[in-house]
A and B are shown apart, each in its own frame.
Chain A
Amino acid sequence: MLKLDQVSQAYGSREVVKNLSFDLIPGQIGCLLGPSGCGKTTVLRCIAGFEPVAAGHIEIGGETVSSPARRTPPERRQIGMVFQDYALFPHLTVAGNIAFGLGALGKEARQTRVDELLALTGLLENANKYPHQLSGGQQQRVALARALAPRPRLLLMDEPFSNLDVELRERLTQEVRDILRREGMTALIVTHDQNEAFALADVVGVMHEGIIQQWDTPYNLYHQPANRFVADFVGQGVFLPGMVLNNEMVEIELGVLHGMIPTDCDATGCGQCVHDCYVDVLLRPDDIVHDDESLLIAEVENKAFRGADFLYTLKLPSGARALSLVPSHHDHAIGEMIGIKLAVDHVVAYRRVTPGAPG
């Protein structure tokens, strides 16, 4: 449905998007995730047709809409867009906003479609209110309904939840996902919030400095990050120094980890090295579990109570820090020594950035 092929975009001499390629199949929800300034909003604006592309091309529904040579204007792309600030028309009611893009329909068909969307988004009672009379969450739903009304081929959402408070954000994320599913909508969402991306999207592209670092499912992004940036940006975790013993074993302070050492780790990383190679090993908080029986002990340096569990910051014997997620009935005081054990499924390792022997 959407296909980007080697798309680049530059503001003057500054390249903000470099050789970007990905595609979405019909009904798929994709997400571009990255820190601010990574170029993700520019990609969205290129797809919408507000920005030209400097190289490569963009297809929507098999038809090329953007290339350096020609650009279909936004109004002829049949896409919907939800803006960060919603950009609702303040002079129109909720119903008026939703009907705005339905000019081509007859009066009756238009009314039917508006009612459909009002029902879909739970706004039936607010049809005749003006945007300023609505709460933030309601405005968000109007923006979504307005974008969906003309049955676009593709829906684009730019940081759609960033103006909402956390609790509302979580609830709406679910709602929006359900609505998109029910409409069978292909959608691309841009966000800097990983929870949002994981909750909404089938497939996520992590962007950094104008490049998609990894285009993958949320699960793989977390467990098999393609490079250090993705590992750092997605989820929590620490890097511990380690040494490769052979292509199935790597030794770190806490013991020897077994499992395939990805030969292409760090995407380029330690492809050449087979053994005796210094690496950094990624340890997620759930890779270290609490075990009173264990001989491995570490000092509780800090702890954050999160309801169901504690997130402990542990000080290892070498002085290195690690995180551990522990069920909340294991309440240990700061300074206490506790037993820990490794529970690593996938070994994720990258070439050392700072040289030195594993501690």
Chain B
Amino acid sequence: MPAESSVLSANTPAKFKPAGVFAFARPGGWGAVALVIALLTVIPVAVIFSAWLTPEADILGHLTEFVLPELLANTFWLLLGVGIGVTVLGVSLAWLTAMCEFPGRKFFSWALLLPLAVPAYVLAFVMIGLLDYTGPLQTWLREAFGPMQLPQIRSRGGVIFVMSLALYPYVYLIARNAFLTQGRAALEAAQSLGLNRWQGFRRVALPMARPWIAAGLMLALMETLADFGTVAIFNYDTFTTAIYKAWFSLFSLSAASQLSSILILFVLILALAEQRTRSHMKYGGVGRAASHDRIHLSRRQALLATSYAGLVFAIAFLIPLVQLLLWTSEVAATDLDSRYWEFVRNSLWLSGLGAAIVCVLALLLGYAGRQKPGQFMQLVQRVATIGYAFPGTVLAVGVFIPVAWLDNVIIDLLKSQGWQGTEVLKGTLLVMLLAYAVRFLAVGFGPVDSGLQRVTRNIDEAARVMGTSTLSLLSRVHLPMLRTSLFTAAALAFVDIMKEMPITLMTRPFGWDTLAVRVFEMTAEGEWERAALPSVAIILAGLIPIIFLAGRGENTHA
């Protein structure tokens, strides 16, 4: 994109009028549109940091003395453990499926993405249900081998185990792409210099893929920091659960904000690191399929590879899914009632509405960049899409505070007109939808922006020369060319919102319980069986984009 936009800006004279598309909006207008969208991201962060201007001394003292040390230690160990876990799992599986030949390789190369569809909080309660002292595995072991005890699943190690299994696909996906597409020539050069394939992996492929692996790792760590559901189920206190408690138990917006500001510092550091590593990512030697010269493993090695991939797939996806289905069948008779359908309806509504908002904002932001390209616009777009890094708990606080303030202003205004009431905006979906939009704008912007890149200025002009009006240009050229991108953007945002837990939990108006909220409530009471039914629905929805993703990956690289 940088190359593209610099070319455009070089050709864009001061008096250039947008070639017909939205000609009513001059470049200045588009700048304003993009700025407003970026403000949606900036304001919550600013609000959170401004909490330090009015510290509440007693709460702050309590926090620093009793809460912070534990939170910091817990967060540190979690990041370290999950970081190691996802890297080892992700890179090893990526290397095996990309470069080696073993039975089931084709199946595993896409099946290992499926855990993406299982939210970490679902995997968490399934694992606890399975591995707890009273769970089926330990009960069976005791019956078979007499009294014994496995390591406690409800522990730091347990959280790390679950989150590594849930989040390794981020590293796997990106690292695998890197192995498949980049630098095959370099690997062949290494072989010609006398290195065998394993040495080549260690000394050439792995170092070359490092920026990709790092990018996947950063994404996984951001998700770790943002996670609320899993740590809540494990009772493992991190910043997100602390913010939630400050919000609901202490009723202290100030404490919630201060905790949020610390968390967001971590997050911003990670996000900056991620963007830095991205700038090191360069594709080389794309296009040559690796299929015909994969490493042929010996029988023993191949068996090991198949078992390893199979084990990860089973633990991260298959066994949890089977367990969920078993539990579901136990409770389906009683729980598949009108309330359940209400959760489904709410989830669909909110996800649909959220996805629509995300698509509209992504389109506006994309068109703004197209009509007014330049470094400034790039910066604005970056800021506007950084929200994917913000934990939902933080966004809930950061969006709620300014909306509540605005609400009070409006109420005061209305009261002076003789109106009587206590809330205008607060009882609505506004806070929740705004927070969704900030968090998931990047998810929608990616595909929309790359779609727009294909609608070059020459394509616009080609249509215009042939006598096409602005409106018919949009309907005959832009819309058909963007259809796939918009669909992708909507599907990704839809599924992400469906899985979303903390924002929904903290800002939903009365009567808007979703599937994810239901999962939270049931797991809070330890009723795993009853949490299974809504979880299955969430997983089914989540499978759709992954099947797309996997299909596309196979087409381009297999």
Contacts and interface: CB of A to CB of B under 8 A. Distances in A.
Interface stretch (B83-91, B95-103, B269-277, B460-468): B460-468
B192 interface: no
A89 B477 contact: yes
A76 B456 contact: no
A146 B476 CA distance: 15
Given A50-B19, A89-B481, A91-B480, A84 B466 contact: no
B469 interface: yes
A103 interface: yes
Interface in A95-126: 100-101, 103-104
B461 A48 contact: yes
A90 B467 contact: no
A103 B480 contact: no
B461 A51 contact: no
A101 B459 contact: no
A349 interface: no
A240 B481 CA distance: 58
B14 A11 contact: yes
Which residue, B466, B469, B481, has most C-beta atoms of chain A within 10 A? B466
A100 B463 CA distance: 8
Contact of A83 (B13, B462, B483): B462
A75 B462 contact: no
Interface string B445-473: 00000000010101101111111110000
A292 B505 CA distance: 98
Contact of A87 (B20, B456, B467): B456
Nearest to A10: B13
B461 A50 contact: yes
B467 A51 contact: no
Nearest to A50: B461
Contact of A84 (B458, B463, B469, B477): B458
Contacts of A73: 20, 464
Contacts of B468: 75, 100-101
A18 to B, nearest CB: 15
B300 interface: no
B494 to A, nearest CB: 24
A212 interface: no
Contacts of A48: 461, 465
A74 B477 contact: no
B292 interface: no
Nearest to B14: A12
A83 B458 CA distance: 7
A77 B16 CA distance: 19
Contact of A85 (B14, B456, B480): B456
A11 B467 CA distance: 26
Nearest to A13: B14
B299 interface: no
Given A83-B461, A85-B456, A91 B481 contact: yes
Contacts of A100: 463, 466, 468, 476
Which residue, A74, A77, A88, A104, has most C-beta atoms of chain B within 10 A? A74
A188 interface: no
A58 B197 CA distance: 66
B466 A11 contact: no
B15 interface: yes
Nearest to B10: A11
B458 A76 contact: no
A210 interface: no
A89 B465 contact: no
Contacts of B466: 75, 80, 100-101, 146, 150
B467 A103 contact: yes
Nearest to A102: B466
Contacts of B476: 100
Nearest to B470: A75
B467 to A, nearest CB: 4
A262 B499 CA distance: 83
Contacts of B16: 51
Contacts of A88: 459, 462
Nearest to A77: B465
A81 interface: yes
A85 B461 CA distance: 12
Nearest to B477: A89
Given A50-B19, A91-B480, A75 B465 contact: yes
Nearest to B483: A91
A55 to B, nearest CB: 14
A343 B483 CA distance: 66
A79 interface: yes
A51 B467 CA distance: 17
A74 B481 contact: no
A76 B480 CA distance: 24
Contacts of A103: 467
A48 B480 CA distance: 25
A75 B467 contact: yes
B14 A81 contact: no
A52 interface: yes
Contacts of A81: 461-462, 465
B467 A101 contact: yes
A31 to B, nearest CB: 19
A88 to B, nearest CB: 8
A146 B462 CA distance: 9
Interface in A11-58: 11-12, 48, 50-52
Nearest to A152: B465
A90 B485 CA distance: 14
B480 to A, nearest CB: 4
Given A52-B15, A91-B481, A80 B458 contact: no
A156 to B, nearest CB: 8
B15 A87 contact: no
B465 A12 contact: no
Contacts of A11: 13-14
B469 A75 contact: yes
B458 A51 contact: no
Given A89-B481, A150-B467, A74 B14 contact: no
A201 B124 CA distance: 73
Interface in B252-291: none
Contacts of A147: 465
A76 B467 contact: yes
Given A75-B467, A103-B467, A150-B466, A87 B13 contact: no
Contacts of B467: 75-76, 78, 101, 103-104, 150
Interface string A169-196: 0000000000000000000000000000
A80 B465 contact: yes
Contacts of B459: 87-89
Nearest to B461: A50
B348 to A, nearest CB: 30
Contacts of B14: 11-12
Contacts of B464: 50, 73-75
Interface string B131-162: 00000000000000000000000000000000
Nearest to B476: A100
B393 to A, nearest CB: 42
Contacts of B461: 48, 50, 74, 81, 83, 87
A78 B465 CA distance: 7
A148 B315 CA distance: 62
Top 3 A-B pairs, shortest CB-CB distance: A101-B466, A87-B458, A11-B13
13 contacts: A10-B13, A11-B13, A51-B13, A51-B16, A52-B15, A75-B467, A76-B467, A83-B462, A85-B458, A87-B462, A101-B467, A146-B466, A147-B465
Given A51-B13, A75-B464, A100-B468, 8 more contacts: A12-B14, A48-B461, A73-B20, A75-B469, A90-B454, A91-B481, A146-B466, A147-B465
